[in-house]
Amino acid sequence: MSCRELIAVLDDYLEGTLAADLLRELERHLAECPPCRAYLATYRRTREVAAAAANVVVPEELKARLRRLLGVSRTG
């Protein structure tokens, strides 16, 4: 498995849906490729941060202020 191929299947790997043969190839590649291990760690952390950001509750007053600042109507 090449680095490019690993990156293409990272979502499946992290979701636990990668086929067994690909999983073995990916894990073998990770064992031998420090840059891919670093990429995987960064990718995992990015997913965690994005998931946490999706759960942030923005107060209505701040939303209204941002809409006014950006000139965006509530429906658009």
29 or 75: whose pLDDT is higher?
Answer: 29
Burial class for 49, CB neighbours closer than 10 Å (0-12, 13-18, 19+): exposed
CA 45 to chain CA mean position, Å: 7
Picking from 18, 11, 13, 16, the residue whose alpha carbon sits closest to that of residue 50 is 11
Structural domains of the chain in order of their starting residue, each with its CATH number: 3-70 (1.10.10)
Per-residue pLDDT of 3-55, as tens digits, reads 999 999 999 999 999 999 999 999 999 999 999 999 999 999 999 999 888 88
pLDDT at residue 54, rounded to an integer: 80
Task: Centre a 10 Å sphere on the Cβ of residue 43 and count the other Cβ atoms it contains.
Answer: 16
Which two three-digit tokens encode residue 43?
A: 């990718």
Q: Say if residue 76's pLDDT is above 60.
A: no
In this prediction, residue 44 carries a pLDDT of 95
In this structure, the chain runs to a length of 76
